[in-house]
Chain A
Amino acid sequence: DTGVSQDPRHKITKRGQNVTFRCDPISEHNRLYWYRQTLGQGPEFLTYFQNEAQLEKSRLLSDRFSAERPKGSFSTLEIQRTEQGDSAMYLCASSLGEGAVGYTFGSGTRLTVV
């Protein structure tokens, strides 16, 4: 297992278009998290799943954002009608249980909205 994988690494899109990102967690990890990070800031929590259930969503996650984890394995994050303010690094992380030790991040998808 090579850790948490995210695809694509980079995405440039025009304002108003929809984009979808994929995250493949570490296989035995039951929890999966999405964060957003802008330049010079720490990651901001967006949402998390325990298996296939989405258990918490941040107020940052507007109705243009939707995340799924259909079979409790990989997850997708979709942004509809992208805006320039959506430009950021979108990070995925996974963990086994709630413990901070072993919490593993992927390298992220960098989104640029032009």
Chain B
Amino acid sequence: GQSLEQPSEVTAVEGAIVQINCTYQTSGFYGLSWYQQHDGGAPTFLSYNALDGLEETGRFSSFLSRSDSYGYLLLQELQMKDSASYFCAVSYQGGKLIFGQGTELSVKP
């Protein structure tokens, strides 16, 4: 089957750097995406890795290693507004996404 594992909760302080890991047991996927979701809101696309390596988009970076079945999202210069749920997702033919269960990030002052 297809499964993605993420930590359920992460806490960090404002201004710090935090890494959210995603390990998966699946194959044949096109790439690994990351989404942010605030309470009651729509999931918002953050980053995508089609190939192994690091992708950087402003304060957010994402990494993928297919040989290790592992990826992560790195958030730098944390702000209070970054408190949200973060989901990793793998994409398949047709654009279907399979999501992890999400990591709730709490940013403390």
Tell me which of B10-18, B64-72, B75-83, B97-105 binds A. Answer: B97-105
Total chain A interface residues with beta-carbon distance under 8 A: 28
Chain B: number of interface residues, binned into ranges? 20 to 34
- Please list the residues of chain B having a beta carbon within 8 angstroms of any beta carbon in chain A: 4, 30-31, 33, 35, 40-45, 48, 87, 89, 91, 93-102
Given the known inter-chain contacts A98-B91, A100-B48, A105-B44, please indicate yes or no for A44 contacting B33, CB distance below 8 A: no
Task: For B45, give its contact among A31, A42, A45, A103 (CB under 8 Å).
Answer: A103
Closest B residue by C-beta to A41: B101
A75 at the interface (CB under 8 A from B): no
Interface residue ranges of A11-48 to B (CB < 8 Å): 31, 33, 35, 40-45, 48
* Complex A-B: 24 CB contacts under 8 Å: A31-B94, A31-B95, A33-B95, A33-B96, A33-B97, A42-B4, A42-B101, A43-B43, A44-B99, A45-B98, A48-B94, A48-B96, A56-B96, A91-B43, A98-B94, A100-B30, A100-B31, A100-B91, A100-B95, A100-B97, A101-B45, A103-B33, A103-B95, A106-B42
